[in-house]
Amino acid sequence: MRPRGTSIAMVLVTALVLTACGGNADTTTTAGEATTTTVGGGGATTTMAGETPTTEYDTTCAVQDLIDQTAGMTGPEREAFLLDIAKDEEPINLYTELNARDTDAIASLWEDTYDLNINVYRAGSEDVRLRVLEEASAGFRGFDLIEIEALDMTILEEQGILAPASSPYRDGIIEAGLFPTFTADRVTYIVPVWNPTIVSDPPHDFADLADPRFNGILALEDSDVYWFAVIEQYLENEMGMSQDEAVQVFKDIAANGSITSGHTTTLELLIAGQYGITPNGYSHRVEEFKKENAPLEWLPVNAPVVAEITAVGVACNPRNPASALLMEDFFLSPDYVQPFLVSVNRTPSNSALQAEAFGPGGDNIVPIKGDVGAIVGDFEKWTNLWDEVVRSASS
Amino acid sequence: MALGSTEPRRNFPAAFGRRGSLGTRLLKYLGLAIVIGLTAYLVLVPLVFLVWRGINSGEGITLANIGQAYAVTGTGQMVWNSITFSVATAIVATTIGSALAFVSVRTNAPFKGILYASSLVPLIIPGILYTISWIFLLSDKIGLMNIALRQVGLGFLTVNVFSLPGMVIVEGLHLSPIVFLLMYAAFKATDPALEESAMMSGASVPQVVRRVTLPLVRPALLASLLVMLVRGLESFETPALLGIPAGKWVFTSQIYKALSTYPLRYDNAAIYSLTLIAITVVGLYFVSRANRQTSRFETITGKGFRPRPLDLGPWKWPVSIAFVIYFLVVVIAPLAMLAYMSFLPFFMQPGKAAFAAFSLENYGAMFDIPTVGRAIKNSLILSVGSATFLMLFMAIVAWITVKSKLRGRNLLDSVTTYPLAYPGLVLGVSLIFVYLRMPLPIYGTLWILFIVYVTKYMPYAMRYAANSITQIAGELEESAHMSGASWRSTFRRIIIPLMAPGLIAGWVYVVVVSVRELSASILLYRQGTEVFSVLIWELWEAGQTTQLAAVGVTLVLGLTVLVGIAYKVGANIGIRE
């Protein structure tokens, strides 16, 4: 018997068509035809297809009025002024990449200090950035304050999603941490780390990592494009190398061992003895392991240190503008989050508190400065160069 | 109806279209349209998004664009690695999973009772932990198994986990439970009378297996191979943790890279994903061609049917010993490694210092996480909810694709398989995109996560359902119909109970994997809708691997209990021995 009426193909095609038509997109960008849109009245502009920045956007943020009203106030004056308004707002929405344990502690500190509630969304920096871009493109006001890596912040800045940074506490922050729409609240040092039971003679300088004494025991973590770009530029600008020579240094180091995936896994494999040294480990993670008596060391540092910056920024058009500005200060003031970061072995961005974060030998580290904006602008180039290095290890 | 029958596919709809008033028939067709429409909606929304994002990134999906996506250094080698890895993994997983299922269901081997739950253990352990456990067991330098083998003079048996064979072993073992579940249901529905007849005619056990048992379960076997192949192609943890140090780059590393760079290369990711979908569709085409004559595989018929174990005879003990070895190596060893890690502050080689550092701190710390209660509750609701919905829903879809003669049924079958190739991140982004623009207010609720799980695990649910319905002869439906039963009551009282072993197996699978789903969940949850996998990710991100091991051990215990309950319930619903 022939089926009557219904053909699955027809239903599928209809669903497909409905789906294609159903998305009530604010914006589309098609090949050769760039269309932009203003998001949520706040002035943010994004393209729907990927994240290629568009050229025109309105930079007037809805929160600008409040920023203007607090201009010239001292920290405590601004705190009192904003708290008064924030009490009538809804709970603040914080998007962050900080881990659960520390975020929970910061959330409690916020609630205890101001008697204000908080909603937190936590994910990896890239995931947070992705979600924010998608939300902004749909005109959805998801976050009030965001705390992710500077690299991802730069992308949000380009899209006009962030308001100008206005905290009076920016004066105390390290110079490398100041950007137009966001401010570093903590830094992560990427340094060579070794297991002292395996490596008795740690590297004397960066190129020394290519020495045969590390052959077969070196582990290079594969995701650090930013670290690579900053050191590569340093080798070019400060050491007078050509790009080819600088990249070759990395290739020689990579040829000395294996490529690994994941910073923590790499350190664990170092502790377990699978590897003896890694050029790119997180210093704070080492400190945490060392507290448990793990055989890891990163001092003295005889190689250029790259500081990966994590920063806070206020949404251009937040649901809770006063709470957002208040929390920006809360993260940057030397009274709340900054000392807390020291207590959990992290490195705060406040220059006075930074020295406290390290033990003897760690307090005089001056990280080399990376041009985050330029690296983001050329990210594909850096990714490809890094890919060459990583692949050269296995060839 | 049994093997070798040439009875044609039953006319559709035997019990569906001829009866009832016009209104009733219209209602039935409306129901059918809703089922098909919903399937299409769930699958095609992310697909349209994937293609559209790919096209819209500036250059469109042209040949040049495709060429550029594949013009990455070492592409040839990467494709070759991917193919070798996934084919070898599929063979390992299918062989192990099928053998275990066969022995567990169809034979009188001792110890088989422990198999059902224990064989699922590798599936329950989060991929990243499972792989790390194997590094500590099989690494060339620090692997405990390798060290032990060398000490007893069996050094030639050592395997370096950082190599292609190492990757295949770890991934194959990790995936084997999926095959086990698929094949378990298939063997459960095989009429032993056929095997008994073969034995009576003088065939040996291996001959019976090769010439009777395996041909009977061919649809399930081929489906398992296909699913394994695609899973192997898109697997991430093993290639990342074991393949990259060994210089074995695979396909997924490219998708991951395209989605973690800036600007995001949606076009490249789309091209890679569409390639995976194309491979899946071609594979499915061959599978359905091979299974064309469904009645050949129908073993549950109107005749008396008692699934009875096959006497292994002299094979009984060798098989059992192999079983015990498998159990010790694949289940106990990684689990013991996890348990060992869970007592430590960080991984240490076993010894005095390690035992001195033993504590229950990691277990205590687990309950200090403020969101743990909520995450467990949400995950339980979502996994049980989506698994139950999916299995019932896919039972209907499978009935349409396997038992009906509806035009386009093969297309429907193929469409349900597409999500196998969707990267979780793309699925997450597509749902944010759609539901922030739709008047349906589900963004930030559990419903959006429910949609993720239902979409992502639809292909598996479909394979479980389709496999089990293939073995049910149409004469049972016809008998019910002749006795005056409506289609609905036939479906509820005949088909669903007969499909029960397959549906339960699928249910178990979906529950377990949806508890672990991360890449889409992490984009879509918010405060209040945290799920367990996000918690696992947080511990991983925070570098608390040993605490994660404690969570892994707890997860294995918890889910084993859940699986045990499902198994008991399933035994009561399905065919009783």
Over residues B517-535, the pLDDT tens digits come to 887 888 899 888 989 888 8
Interface contact B48-A31, CB threshold 8 A: no
Q: At what angle do helices B218-234 and B266-290 cross, to 10 degrees?
A: 170
Q: Å from A227 to nearest chain B CA?
A: 15
Residues of B in contact with A117 (CB under 8 A): none
* Residue A373 maps to a domain: yes
* Residue A320 maps to a domain: yes
User: d(Cα A13, Cα B44) in Å, to the nearest integer?
Assistant: 10
Which range has the worst mean pLDDT, A43-57, A162-176, A364-378, B155-169?
A43-57
Residues of A in contact with B33 (CB under 8 A): 6, 11
Interface contact A3-B405, CB threshold 8 A: yes
* Residue A299 maps to a domain: yes
Q: Between B11 and B345, whose confidence is greater?
A: B345
- Amino acid A49: pLDDT: 32
- Report helix, strand or coil for B575: coil
- Amino acid A8: pLDDT: 47
- A151 and A358 Cβ atoms separated by less than 8 Å: no
Superfamily of domain B22-297+308-573: MetI-like (1.10.3720.10)
| Whole-number CA gyration radius for chain B | 24
Q: Between A181 and B536, whose confidence is greater?
A: A181
* Residue A27 maps to a domain: no
- Report helix, strand or coil for B401: helix
Same domain, A228 and A209: yes
**In this model, does residue B13 exceed pLDDT 50?**
no
Structure tokens at B276: 């995976």
Same domain, A207 and A315: no
Same domain, A163 and A299: no
Q: Identify the band that residue A41 occupies on the pLDDT scale cut at 50, 70 and 90.
A: very low
H or E segment and range at residue A140 = none
Same domain, A84 and A140: yes
Assign residue A328 the CATH number of its domain: 3.40.190.10
Residue for token pair 């379960």:
B217
Interface contact B407-A9, CB threshold 8 A: yes
Residues of A in contact with B132 (CB under 8 A): 265, 268
Which range has the worst mean pLDDT, A268-282, B44-58, B304-318?
B304-318
Each domain of chain B, given as residue ranges in start order, spans: 22-297+308-573
Burial class from Cβ neighbours inside 10 Å (0-12, 13-18, 19+) for residue B111 reads middle
Residue B67: HSE in the Cβ half-sphere, 13 Å Cα cutoff: 3
- A92 and A118 Cβ atoms separated by less than 8 Å: yes
Same domain, A378 and A244: yes
| Contact status of A374 with chain B (Cβ, < 8 Å) | no
- Amino acid A23: pLDDT: 37
Interface of B with A in 360-399 (CB under 8 A): 369-371
Please give the mean pLDDT across all residues of chain B. 81
* Residue A29 maps to a domain: no
Structure tokens at B54: 């790919």
**In this model, does residue A12 exceed pLDDT 50?**
no
Residue for token pair 């601004």:
A78
How many residues are recorded in chain A? 395
Interface of B with A in 178-237 (CB under 8 A): none
Same domain, A80 and A109: yes
Interface contact B415-A16, CB threshold 8 A: no
Residue B557: HSE in the Cβ half-sphere, 13 Å Cα cutoff: 9
* Residue A148 maps to a domain: yes
Q: Å from A290 to nearest chain B CA?
A: 10
Same domain, A243 and A380: yes
Same domain, A299 and A245: yes
A-B C-beta contacts closer than 8 Å: 226
Residue in chain B closest to A51 (alpha carbons) equals B263
Give the tens place of pLDDT for each residue, B52-80: 877 765 556 567 777 777 776 677 788 88
Interface of B with A in 404-463 (CB under 8 A): 404-409, 411-412, 415, 425, 429, 432-434, 436-438, 443
CA A265 to chain centre: 20
Which range has the worst mean pLDDT, B137-146, B167-176, B485-494?
B485-494
* Residue A46 maps to a domain: no
Number of domains in chain A: 2
User: d(Cα B482, Cα B474) in Å, to the nearest integer?
Assistant: 12
* Residue A49 maps to a domain: no
Q: Count other C-beta atoms under 10 Å from residue B135's C-beta.
A: 24
- Rounded alpha-carbon distances, angstroms, from residue A386 to A254, A395, B40: 11, 15, 41
| Section A67-76 average pLDDT | 96
Same domain, A143 and A71: yes
Most confident of A75-89, B150-164, B557-571: A75-89
**In this model, does residue B253 exceed pLDDT 80?**
no
Q: Between B270 and B515, whose confidence is greater?
A: B515
Same domain, A327 and A285: no
- Amino acid letter for position A67: I
**In this model, does residue B295 exceed pLDDT 60?**
no
| Contact status of B546 with chain A (Cβ, < 8 Å) | no
| Contact status of B113 with chain A (Cβ, < 8 Å) | no
Residues of B in contact with A12 (CB under 8 A): 36, 40, 44, 408, 411-412, 415
| Contact status of B136 with chain A (Cβ, < 8 Å) | yes
- Amino acid B386: pLDDT: 96
Sorted by sequence, the CB contacts under 8 Å of residue A10 that are 6+ apart come out as B408
Give the tens place of pLDDT for each residue, A123-159: 889 889 989 998 998 999 999 999 999 989 999 999 9
- Amino acid A82: pLDDT: 98
Same domain, A258 and A374: yes
- A313 and A135 Cβ atoms separated by less than 8 Å: no
Most confident of B106-120, B135-149, B398-412: B135-149
Q: State which residues form the domain around A277.
A: 188-307+368-394
Same domain, A385 and A297: yes
Closest-CA residue to A230 (of A292, A286, A169, A188): A188
Interface contact B346-A292, CB threshold 8 A: yes
